[in-house]
Amino acid sequence: MRLRGGAQPGRWPGEHRTAFLHRPRLRSLRNKLALVFFAITGLSFSVIYFIVVPQLESNLERRKTDEVARVAALSKPSLQALMGRRSINAKELDRRVRAVADATGSQVTLFGVQQSNGGQARQPSLEVRMYVISDSGEKRVVPENPRLASRAVITRKAQRGTIRFDEERLGQIAQPLTFRKRIDWVAVYSAEFDEVAETVAFVRRRLLIATGLALLLALGGGYLVARALARRVRRLEQAAQEVAAGQFLDPLPVDSRDELGELTKAFNEMQLQLRQVEVARKEFVATASHELRTPIFSLGGFVELLRDEELDEATRREFLDAMAEQTERLQKLAVDLLDLSRLDAGAVELESEGVDLCGLTRAVVGEFRPAVARHGTDLDLQLTAPVRASCDPDRVAQIVRILLDNALRHTPRGTNVTVTTHRDNGTALLTVADEGPGLPDEHQVFDRFYTGEATTGAGLGLTIARELAERMDGSIAPAPTPRGALLVLTLPGEQETGPA
């Protein structure tokens, strides 16, 4: 990057540079963004691991239990049919129970029921005792759940529950079996959750692996993204410090279309405007100093000459007239500089009201009668009444004075000047035309301190006039004319209101 304005790469103001280099690592944008990515990823996987996975396990167990309950309901008639057969032996009953167990994919245990009320177990307070009749297991190890079986007898409906048996969780369905409206048996179906446990364990392992990889990717990717963002922010910070130190840079590259890219573009525009303001300020100071130095030196020279006692009265009078002219020039320059500085600072307050442009122009022209007489000018007024404008009357009067003074100052003696007013498409127009040599440069005449070939004036009048016109939503610009110069002041016309 090439620096301008005497700047050198890597040279910052001491305080900003020290503060930037000694910034704590944890407070840097790069590390903060990387940690945020890491935390968000870790939190997301934690929610999945501790909330979603348990819900998945619960749903799988419920589906397993629902399947056992469905098959148990289908097997209920076949088991109830065995209750009425007195000739069935234990081996045949075990065979039938194992067949039901194979069909349901669970361990089936038949419990006999002993009730203290003679078989009418309708009250929850009745005591129910159980004893094993048959079991499908080879080792005859029965996963007993008396509370679940008792609840099925009391409610006369199938009941669901879970139990831990041999360090395993089992899902159970207690199905009451009736014979002649009497509950004599309860079939308890016990289903293992091995497949559910294996599935959940598989998901947990894969989730842990994915979490580790995601955290590494989040940390690494977040760090790289954050480092790129931090580098762009740091570049803006360095450039801002350089500009704050008065050292302007070449425009920063806009390498993205995101918010930082827009910020970089805005920074480049700001730097360009600041550079233009700085250049204008330096030119203003240099030109103003030159303009002030000339009349001051001239006045100093005349003072030295007036100290000579041998001067005759005519020469002394000539010197005094010249000094008066230079003093008037200084006064006008001081007023123009003050007006221009107030305009630049936005301290000029404008009030908009309805103004009779013809009457205002006639009053200002009356102020110039002595100057017109000295100049030998034929001033022609062509005022078309009524012409009303919405503007600040004091500032419009100032603009008219500037235009008339410009016409008299930059034209030979005896040059005719014409002032006209009229309306055009809702706007109020005032023109000042002269028959002088014309404008040397129609665009440059509005530049500050531009005087052309004139030996008098500071070259600020038209600049101030244009600024004031634009502040009132108007404009001032030259217009083509076959002879001399023609400047047109355009102002917004006053809104006409009809009868109420």
User: In this structure, are 473 and 354 located in the same domain?
Assistant: yes
**Is there a contact between 321 and 381 (Cβ–Cβ < 8 Å)?**
no
- For the stretch 323-373, pLDDT in tens is 887 787 777 777 777 776 676 666 677 888 888 899 898 888 888 888 888
Name which of 397, 388, 383 is nearest 468 in CA terms.
Answer: 397
pLDDT at 2: 36
The residue written with tokens 């005087």 in the block is 451
Check whether 98 has a pLDDT greater than 50: yes
Most confident range, picked from 140-144, 209-213, 414-418: 414-418
**pLDDT of 76 higher than 80:** yes
Q: Give a yes or no: residue 461 inside a domain.
A: yes
Task: Tally the domains of the chain.
Answer: 3
Per mean pLDDT, which range of 83-87, 141-145, 280-284, 496-500 is the poorest? 496-500
CATH, residue 93: 3.30.450.20
Q: What is the predicted pLDDT for the residue at 450? A: 59
Predicted pLDDT of residue 238: 84
> Is it the case that residue 454 has pLDDT exceeding 80?
no
Look at residue 213 in the predicted model and tell me its pLDDT. Answer: 83
Structural domain range at position 278 = 259-344
* Lowest pLDDT segment from 223-237, 349-363, 404-418: 223-237
Residue 292 has pLDDT above 80, yes or no: no
70 lies in a domain?
A: no
Pair (481, 363) in one structural domain = yes
Instruction: Identify whether residues 477 and 366 lie together within a single domain.
Output: yes
Q: Give the CATH number for residue 327.
A: 1.10.287.130
Identify the domain boundary among 320, 344, 368: 344
Q: Is the pLDDT of residue 11 over 60?
A: no
Res 262 pLDDT > 60: yes
Q: Domain check: are 324 and 380 in the same one?
A: no
Does the pLDDT of residue 414 top 50, yes or no?
A: yes
The confidence score (pLDDT) of residue 19 equals 44
Is residue 451 in a domain? yes
Q: What is the pLDDT of residue 123?
A: 45
What's the confidence (pLDDT) of residue 202? 84
What are the strands, taking DSSP E only, across 64-223? 107-115, 128-135, 159-165, 168-179, 182-192
Do 137 and 111 share a structural domain? Answer: yes
Same domain? 354 vs 282: no
457 domain-assigned: yes
Confidence (pLDDT) at 121: 44
Q: What's the mean pLDDT in 428-440?
A: 84
293, part of any domain: yes
Q: What is the CATH number of the domain that holds 449?
A: 3.30.565.10
Domain boundary among 175, 193, 211: 193
Rounded mean pLDDT of 441-466?
A: 65
Query: Would you state the pLDDT for residue 305?
Result: 76
444 belongs to a structural domain: yes
pLDDT band for position 16 (50/70/90)?
very low
Q: For residues 28 and 218, which has the higher predicted lDDT (pLDDT)?
A: 218
Mean pLDDT of 242-266: 80
At 126, is the pLDDT very low, low, confident or very high (cuts 50, 70, 90)?
low
For residues 271-295, average pLDDT: 72
Shared domain for 395 and 273, answered yes or no, is no
Domain boundary among 282, 310, 344: 344
Residue 17, in any domain of the structure:
no
pLDDT in tens, 27-74: 566 677 777 777 887 787 788 778 877 888 888 888 888 888 888 888
Answer yes or no: do 334 and 400 share one domain: no
Q: Which of 23-27, 246-250, 414-418 has the highest mean pLDDT?
A: 414-418
- What is the reported pLDDT for 47? 80
Q: Is residue 499 packed enough to be buried (19+ CB in 10 Å), middle (13-18) or exposed (0-12)? A: exposed
Residue 404 scores a pLDDT above 70: yes
pLDDT at 119 over 50: no
Q: Is 71 domain-assigned?
A: no
- Do residue 339 and residue 355 come from a single domain? no
* Average pLDDT in the chain: 77
Q: Do both 338 and 356 map to the same domain?
A: no
In contact, 230 and 242? CB cutoff 8 Å: no
For residues 97-113, average pLDDT? 85
The stretch 485-492 carries a mean pLDDT of 89
Residues 358, 295 share a domain: no
In this prediction, residue 448 has a pLDDT band, given cuts at 50, 70 and 90, of low
Q: Which two tokens stand for residue 372?
A: 């017109």
Let me know whether 427 and 300 are in one domain.
no
User: Could you tell me what percent of the chain has a pLDDT over 90?
Assistant: 2
